[in-house]
Structure 1
């Protein structure tokens, strides 16, 4: 017998439990899809089309809904000779400025034409924008530009001002750009400059978290395809849905929980996936989600986390937001990054609290000092540094924090204290 043998008992087809799986239909998003269809309909009618922004936390169906709607739009547009449609899709996950997004778009368009790519340095921002306008104008018709995780660009929103005005400013003649922005941050629009808010004139579609019943509806057809008959106990799918609904309302979390439970059952050579497998899978994924939650923060979120990690390394915790803000501005200056207001830093701290990464203490010292909040990490400092060290922009600062923590003997090597 070999060390590795092909599974014949648990998984029939694990594809439906993969993050990249695209379902044939989108469940539990009828209202959102109807709004999406109305927003895209002018393209078929050859009418002016508004930009579209989708908001919602990770795993609420924004990206999969966009792929589904644009696939149908592209297919239906092919029926009309007078509809010329192009779609350009760029993930902004590792892009933190309009300049970087514009370079990525130019290269995406040039890759499609097997043309030479441009480098990420050596050009002025306006030159990169001009190259992008040239590439788009060569497409003609309507060009839908999908910017996934657009909130990563933070305050660097020049592209969101330039693209919608490209035609009226004479930068393009033959193309009508339409932006579809996908954001995990409900407050992203608040961080945009007033001129960008006015220029975008976008349709907004909100994707709320799923509830337990909706998650059961999403999980059930995937489970039917993924597992052999008779493998799943009746309470497995409802329990996966309940855990995810209570935590984040994320379909992605529910699907990963179901897959992890199956893998645990497979490792035990169990004949069925039971409730205990789901509970063990939940414990395992909680640790992984901490890392993932930190990795998916925006650059501004990373800067706030970095500032708190610095205070943690020095033992200056819990720390008030006003003191934390001073450290945050120093980090931004060191990184040559844009700052946000103290109010926005408090918003980021609220997000970190919701992710379970920090603890917030409310203090009330009466008339003398009033009511205020203090913050400290709720995960090991080493776990935070591991994520920051893997993020190139914060590597040097994280390395300095690690040295500081080592001097203070404040590092923990694992999740043992969690």
Structure 2
């Protein structure tokens, strides 16, 4: 028995589960379904309720199923329905960030296969591991630092890869990561970031939401877009961008005469914001 032919117009959720169950029973034994970044599922409740109950509900008879969910969001389980929590009877395993020694071992293993002999200083590997450990403590970041450092050395015809290449790589990787997150924001959130970037470049921050609104309207119009019509909408976006870590927010209280209000400024390099917005506009 082979997997059923995938229909040209796709499968409904029920059809997809039925096919998965047929394959589980065909293979038999115990299956572990691993969902990396499980918090990104649009409807995690359905999947996490359906699979663990498959045998009890008679969908499979010759197999057993378990689910492993991987997430960096420690609050994810709080979003699950009570029914799903009862179904899972979950056990949480917390994985701490890698330290510099562990990251260095990983990088040495990769470099041994990806880089020709003597093309990378051992100190550069240690530098990449230490920088990644200080920041997020994850392997992909350390690998990015080493990869970009090697690319920089190759572009300039230099060998071996040194600490200086890794330092330059850190700046490039950080800029790339921030730029990607900016691109992920909505159109008007990006216009607001561009507006604050302009204000910050000209030394006009921290700025109140009304001041940001005026600059934002000019930015939106320059991109041939209709600005959001109310200050409340702008303030909602400012609050969201603050929560996401893009902005610093300063609370001001002028008493009975001036009232209480917030002022905002970017919590990242305005040059990255403006460069990213220019690139997005050029490719729009």
Give the structure-2-normalised TM-score: 0.68
Pairing 1:176–2:67 present: no
Conserved 8 A contact 1:312-1:377:
no
Pairing 1:237–2:125 present: yes
Pairing 1:412–2:278 present: yes
| Structure 1: 5+ residue stretches without partners | 1-109, 296-301, 329-344, 384-410
- Alpha-carbon separation, structure 2, partners of 1:237 and 1:147: 31
2:5 to 92, 97, 116: 116
Cα separation, partners in 2 of 1:127 and 1:222, compared to 1, 3 Å: closer
| Count of aligned pairs | 244
1:266 to 154, 173, 196: 154
Residue 311 of structure 1 deviates from its aligned partner by 6.3
Aligned to 1:17: none
Residue 366 of structure 1 deviates from its aligned partner by 8.1
Conserved 8 A contact 2:104-2:126:
yes
SS at match of 1:164: coil
Conserved 8 A contact 1:382-1:413:
yes
Pairing 1:132–2:25 present: no
Aligned to 1:222: 110
Conserved 8 A contact 1:148-1:182:
yes
Larger radius of gyration: 2
Conserved 8 A contact 2:4-2:19:
no
Larger RCO (CA within 8 A; separation ≥ 6):
1
- Alpha-carbon separation, structure 1, partners of 2:76 and 2:166: 35
Pairing 1:380–2:273 present: yes
CA displacement, residues 276-313 of structure 1 (integer Å, 9 cap, x when unaligned): 21122222222222345568xxxxxx5xx327616617
Aligned to 1:248: 136
- Alpha-carbon separation, structure 2, partners of 1:133 and 1:366: 65
Aligned to 1:257: 145
Cα separation, partners in 2 of 1:238 and 1:205, compared to 1, 3 Å: same
